[in-house]
Amino acid sequence: MTMRVQPAWAIHLQPGSQIPLQDEAARTYLRRGYLAEALLQGGVRPALMAGELTLTHDELRAAASGAARRLKEIGVTQGLHVALFAENSAAWIVSYLGLQLLGATVVGMNPAFKEAEAEQILSDSEAAIALVDAGRQPLIDKLRPRLKALRQIAHVEEIGSVPSPAASPSPSPLVGEGWGGGSLHPESPAILLYTSGTTGKPKGALLDHGNLLAQGRGVVEAWRWTAEDRLVLALPLFHVHGLAIALHGSLIAGGCAVLVPFSPENVVRELRAGGTMFFGVPAMYQRLADYLDRNPADLRHVRLFVAGSAPLPATLFERCQRVLGQPVLERYGITEGGIVVSNPYDGPRQAGRVGYPLPGVVVRLGDQDEVQLKGGQVFNGYWRNAAASADVFVDGWFRTGDIGEIAGDGSLAIRGRIKELIISGGYNVYPREVEMVLEQHPAVAEVAVAGLPSERWGEEVTAFVVARSPVEAEALITYARDRLANYKCPRAVHFIEAIPRNAMGKIDRSKLQ
């Protein structure tokens, strides 16, 4: 008699789960359909709250339908690249859902991008239409003459406007009725999110509908997400954590997302008002713990706190357990595949370990103990970058560039990175990109950038400078802030005699730690 060994990800399955126990069958099951079908199911329960606005799932579906009509009028068609360059808002979400109804490919953009950063993404992505808010309008107007593919600019507040309940049409089945749904499938492109390698040059990770559905359905299963849940959503929507996991997961589960700007006060207020889930990066939990130390609150009713996008220090894990009344669930994710590994909901939630593969995902360690992945969540390649795509896949396995360790119980820990990547406050910072900016300062002869450990940020962007002429550290930090998003800028500058290099002349960053 042959014994069937369950996959490592079976630890995440609920009793009675419909997910097949074979890897390929699980991937097919999780990837089925397309986004609009799964995200806009309708219903009378609350789906989205933002300030004074509350929309039921029916109302959100109607609002997305209205956005799709307006988008169609300005030329959006299936497969067209459309950039969303705006702060978090209900209008952002409604516009995004309208784009998914039409089958467009959404280009995610950080609203903190400065001129060169925005131009790089808009140019490389070949975005034909940009949806912007008032804060981004001057920048997009300045860039427009240099963007050959960009033919239309629209205001996200107008595209994603929400009619009053009295003016909303009766809920109607949108999926597959003239919105492009009939021709969409799991392999249709859905979003283009930019990441980068050690060169600092952005690479567009093209994720299809199946990737995003597998990501969302995987965490809904693993984290016991239901229609009863209310997620306090303070993460940026241009990021895979805020969009593909938080927003998609909430809508797939039929729950409610409460959109708030992050501050400890906002988060605690919404959690006390009925929130059952909160997702954040370690920097958020650091501030939340600081606030709760001064303003204790009983949050034991909250069902789940999740941390990721950067390592959660063990000291912060223990502190959060004390002030939150439960251990935070740490997980591991990548832009190219969303959340792929998680500590189990039912425990144990281990400090310093990110847990087990999510349904359909297989993890192995390659050369240098590099974490490598397979799964329906993982993308197929970078946009217009065949060389980079070939470099990150080996025999069908995605090479993450992260160094891992798998314990005897099968749980994964991340021990470092092969790539020269800094994760500060949950954001990726690429040393070479920062160096290239600082090198332009007339007082800088040489510069190397590295991430130093930080309780608050996970890692702190730090510049090591060989000065050509006298200059203050603050002057260099200000210089960088004028040219880069704030999270990329050095928080400290150290002046040194020479940049450490290896025999090949490459910077030896290990000596800067």
What pLDDT is attached to residue 503?
A: 43
Q: Shortest CA distance to 490 belongs to which of 452, 441, 445?
A: 452
Read off the pLDDT of residues 64-74 as tens digits, 9 standing for 90 and up. 999 999 999 99
195 lies in some domain: no
What pLDDT is attached to residue 416?
A: 65
- When pLDDT is averaged across residues 505-512 and rounded to a whole number, the result is 72
Q: For residues 165 and 1, what is the distance between their CA atoms, to the nearest angstrom? A: 62
Cα 498 to the center of its chain, rounded Å: 37
27 lies in some domain: no
- When pLDDT is averaged across residues 333-357 and rounded to a whole number, the result is 93
Phi and psi angles of residue 143, each rounded to the nearest 5 degrees, phi first: -80, -25
Q: Which amino acid belongs to residue 418? A: I
Residues 452 and 322 in one domain: no
319 lies in some domain: yes
- On the question of pLDDT at 419 being above 50, the answer is yes
- When pLDDT is averaged across residues 127-156 and rounded to a whole number, the result is 97
CATH number of the domain enclosing 134? 3.40.50.980
SS3 427: strand
- When pLDDT is averaged across residues 150-165 and rounded to a whole number, the result is 90
- List the domain range (segments joined by +) for residue 66: 32-44+53-185
Residues 128 and 60 in one domain: yes
Q: For residues 256 and 92, what is the distance between their CA atoms, to the nearest angstrom? A: 16
Q: Shortest CA distance to 463 belongs to which of 202, 479, 335, 455?
A: 479
What pLDDT is attached to residue 502?
A: 56
- Out of 419, 449, 479, a domain closes at 419
Pairing between strand 356-357 and 338-342? antiparallel
Residues 278 and 264 in one domain: yes
Instruction: Provide the phi-psi class of 325: left if phi over 0, else alpha when psi is between -120 and 50, else beta.
Output: left
What pLDDT is attached to residue 504?
A: 39
What pLDDT is attached to residue 470?
A: 95
Read off the pLDDT of residues 371-396 as tens digits, 9 standing for 90 and up. 999 999 999 999 999 999 999 999 99
The angle subtended at Cα 376 by Cα 372 and Cα 378, nearest 5°, is 45
Name which residue leads in pLDDT, 29 or 456: 29
- When pLDDT is averaged across residues 476-482 and rounded to a whole number, the result is 96
- On the question of pLDDT at 197 being above 60, the answer is no
Average pLDDT score over the chain: 91
119 lies in some domain: yes
Read off the pLDDT of residues 163-194 as tens digits, 9 standing for 90 and up. 765 454 444 444 433 455 568 999 999 999 99
Residues 386 and 481 in one domain: no
CATH number of the domain enclosing 504? 3.30.300.30
25 lies in some domain: no
Q: Answer whether 0.85 is exceeded by the pTM.
A: no
- On the question of pLDDT at 1 being above 80, the answer is no
What pLDDT is attached to residue 199?
A: 43
Residues 160 and 220 in one domain: no
What pLDDT is attached to residue 196?
A: 55
List of E strands, 100-219:
105-108, 129-132, 152-155, 189-196, 202-208
- When pLDDT is averaged across residues 104-130 and rounded to a whole number, the result is 96
- On the question of pLDDT at 2 being above 70, the answer is no
